[in-house]
Chains A and B, each alone.
Chain A
Amino acid sequence: MSTVNYAQLWQLALPQVIVVAAALIALAVDLLLLRMRPTHTRFTVAALLGSLGCVLAIVRLVLAPAQVNVLDGTLLANPLTHLVQVALLVLAIATLLMATNSRFTEHIGEFVLLILVATVGSMFLASSQDLLVIFISLELLSLSLYILTAFDKHRPHSSEAALKYFLFGGMSAAFLLFGFSLLYGLSNSTSLPRIADAIHASGATGSPLNPLLLIAIVTTVIGFGFKVAAFPFHFWAPDVYQGAPAPSAGFIASASKVASFFIFFQIMAVGFAGAEGSAAWMRFTTGWVPVLAVVAALSMVLGNLVAIVQRSVRRLLAYSAIAHAGYMLLAIASHTQQSLGALLYYVITYALATLGAFGVVAIVEHRTGGDRLSDFDGLSRRAPVLSGCMFIFLLSLAGIPPLAGFFGKFYLFVSVLGSGPGLLWLVVLAIAMSAVSLYYYLQVLKRIYVANPSEEVANASADATTIGTPILSQAVVVLLAAGVVLFGCAPHLLLHWIDAAIRTTGF
């Protein structure tokens, strides 16, 4: 065991430390100085303080490139982890700024603190290849998210969703821990590369896999399948998306997804290297790829088909998230260097679009009181800019060019097929299902652009028909939409960065 260099650890964890410090400062300022001020002021100050911390952390990450591996993968720093962490911080900033005009709580300092702590959890999650650290950071992330879900104390839905999330989450964490303990038993190590070595040493190629390893594979997939809301571990998603306060839901749908998918890829591709198996059509062989292939196929089919009948926009986004999880699992199933790039591109642009969609939903809910499809009737006449942004987000989710969602899908499918023709059936299924998805996204856009505003709104005075939008939230939503368009029209801007990071890191 090498000695631990605490100075180096401090250096590596400095971005996370900055964020934690910012969170504590925001909490202190809010509780000590601003208690009597109006909610809006308190929220703005706390969110700005938090964002400032995130910006500083980003600056630190960008200015201090490092390629370090402390204690055999316990804590990593390389361009790839930095890239993911920057993405997480940007999403956290967007979430904080969008939350500033919401009124669901008086515990503003605590809310900002929890968002930032969840961000820290996801940052540690992205920067480790050690089972223990992965599990701890995952729990830090999840526990913060449970509380964030329950934050709206006035709505029973919120608590119900949080309880459901917590119970499912606890169970899946138990599965995950069980799988990890089996892995430790098999390999006598908690480091992913060591585990892969042990798997490699245990069996010559072609021999059946150790049954304990199979159990570990299945339980790991259950644990992460829950985090990324893949079928059949998705039951929490619609309730949480619907019940949680909009900023929390947006954060769960975006930042938590980015971190979970990244580490899911790492665990499967690095930790279970040597136990892939094959999911080629009619030629399945045991391993983790067929497990993921089946989960992906089911998620795509179920997510898209169930989304069609939803009447609530948040639930619709939840089922679409399940479908998107299916597409992204394809990238993990093909586990090549290119597919990691495709996965990162996809998940980051997806996070931008879905966070933006939640931002719009939050503003609309604020004015019309609900997120039913009918609450969106005639939105384009009342809030043209907001509707334009929603147009961009939903079409990007549907995969219409020239938006980022299209290129994400294209690159994903190219990289999956590039690894061999075996997964062609999944790609065909994915493309067919994305054709289905356009239907329900258009249902929402139809409400916004085609339907006329409801009677009472139409009869109200001109002043009441336009939806006043808070400047800050609207600015964030517009920026997110601009990002979606920009990364769609010029995918190279992001792709170049991802590719460079993957190349220098060597995955």
Chain B
Amino acid sequence: MLAWTIYISFLGALLLLLLPKSNAAAARVLALLAALVTFAITLVFFLQHRTGEMLTVTDVSWIPSLGIRYHLAADGISLVLLLLTGIIAVTGILFSWNIEHRANEFFAFYLLLIGSVYGVFLSYDLLLLFVFYEIVIIPKYFLIAIWGSTRREYGAMKLVLYSFIGSAMVLVGLIAAYVVAGAKTMALGDLAGFPFSAHFQMWAFPLVFVGFAILAGLWPFHTWAPTGHVAAPTAASMLLAGVVMKLGAYGCLRVAMTLFPLGLAPWGFHVLGLGSWREVFAVLAVIGIVYGAMVALVQKDFKFVIGYSSVSHMGFILLGLMTLNQIGLSGAVVQMFSHGILAGLMFAVVGRMVYDRTHTRELALLGPMDLNKAIPFAAATFVVAGMASMGLPGFSGFVAELMIVIGVWHAFPILTVLVGLGLVVGVAYIWRAMQKAFFAEADRASAAPHAPLPPITLPERLGAIVLIVASVIVGLYPQVLLNIIVPALNSPLFNGLRQGGWR
């Protein structure tokens, strides 16, 4: 049943290409229907499957001569991310209700992207995972290059090249693992159980980890993220920040860390005070948190603020992964969900509610427009999203970041101070953007000539409410996610990780 999320998305994309070109409304409705069905499937599964253990969905032979199988399976971690994909898919369509230009193709690419994201989260066979992971790249390019804004072709190409270089690194690692294991299997469980030599893991781990982490916005390979997000149309930025960056983080956890756990072990010597890949990536993640926040603090473009905040928040996820303790790792997964929802919400406010109406994202120009009066819903939504993103209790961001910080406290006490600094700057940049964009002193003289902005439409309200509710539910009752994440982390798949430095 869960496999149908992929097929329905792809079928929807195909149908959209066959629809008559002139009818944008039909395209929207069809796309929304497809996304709703996939969302319903993931939600039902999420609610039913509360044990969190690995559950095979489909398993048939695909390329027998290489022992590669079409094997889809889901455990607690993938279910959380599948649900996130479903939510973002639906709300993304709601927020692109105003797309008129080549609407069929837009939604076809959109559904292709969604379908392959579902595919990545569902794949158990590593070649299959890689196949879906690479398909994601192509629709991303066209979504940004055709429907994007500021420097769209540059942003799109940069994004594609970064992703493709990352996946090339992953491919080298996967082929090497397949050949070294020599077992004619690409199944995640089998390869994770294979005792690769420590020497092999020492070079394979950073290769695959960085390959995936490029897409997760690891500093200093993050530069595609802000430009890509800014250039993308609203729905594409939501997907990009909401789920595509999670693909990278998911790959780090699911592939790099489970296949090569010994790659995290100490080297036995120190370079610049760092003694293992684990410490290297932890430090890079912290730099990402602080750097992303600092840069977000000085942006003039509203969307760049959110773009850099994504880099900062993704740093939390990578740092959580590097803590290697249960609270840190589960915090990282909760943060994947939380950031997916919140980044989606913020990009929706900036890209759809504000930019599509005012046609500017310059904070200095937005201020005089007196937006909290003109579009109060947008202002209110942004305030809520901002509070959640700062980590106020009651929202998902608080739970996730708290868990990660506790994990970091156990693992790298010194880094906690810097993380705290990142959190404080996080409050500051949100505050600044909010103040400048929505609550600046309205300049009555220059505000007059503006035509009244179109009111917020129903699809936008619906989308915003869905996202806020999702964040609040997780914030008030995090067990809804943790109940299935923790058993998944305790499953045999992560045995290697537990033996190799898990504390």
Contact = CB atoms under 8 A, between A and B. Distances in A.
Contact of A495 (B65, B165, B168): B65
B329 interface: no
A427 interface: yes
Interface residues of A, number: 32
B196 interface: no
Contacts of A413: 171, 175
Choose among A418, A434, A438 the residue with the greatest number of B CB atoms under 10 Å from its CB. A438
A442 B153 CA distance: 11
Interface residues of B, number: 31
A449 interface: yes
Nearest to A402: B131
Given A406-B131, A413-B175, A492-B64, A438 B160 contact: yes
Contact of A417 (B131, B134, B175): B175
Interface string A340-382: 0000000000000000000000000000000000000000100
Interface string B457-471: 000000000000000
Contact of B157 (A410, A417, A428, A442): A442
Contact of A431 (B66, B132, B171, B179): B171
Contacts of A402: 131, 135
A52 to B, nearest CB: 34
Interface string A119-153: 00000000000000000000000000000000000
B414 interface: no
A14 interface: no
A364 to B, nearest CB: 20
A200 interface: no
B63 A491 contact: yes
Contacts of B179: 414, 417-418
Interface in A484-507: 490-492, 495-496, 499
B127 interface: yes
A366 to B, nearest CB: 24
Contact of B63 (A428, A431, A495): A495
A450 interface: yes
A258 to B, nearest CB: 21
A157 interface: no
A402 B176 CA distance: 21
Contacts of B131: 401-402, 406
A499 B135 contact: no
Contacts of A442: 141, 157, 160
Contacts of B161: 435, 438-439
Interface in B448-497: none
B412 interface: no
B145 interface: yes
Contacts of A432: 165, 168
Interface in A392-415: 395, 400-402, 406-407, 410-411, 413-414
Given A401-B131, A427-B175, A499 B168 contact: no
A60 interface: no
Contact of A438 (B153, B164, B172, B176): B164
Interface string A417-449: 110000010011001101100110010001001
Contacts of B62: 490, 492
A450 B142 contact: yes
Interface of B: 62-66, 105, 127, 130-132, 134-135, 137-138, 141-142, 145-146, 153, 157, 160-161, 164-165, 168, 171-172, 175-176, 178-179
23 contacts: A400-B135, A400-B137, A401-B132, A401-B134, A406-B134, A407-B63, A410-B127, A414-B175, A414-B178, A414-B179, A417-B179, A427-B172, A428-B172, A431-B171, A432-B165, A435-B161, A435-B164, A435-B165, A439-B157, A450-B145, A492-B62, A492-B65, A495-B65
Which 6 A/B pairs are nearest by Cβ-Cβ distance?
A401-B131, A417-B179, A435-B168, A450-B145, A431-B168, A435-B164
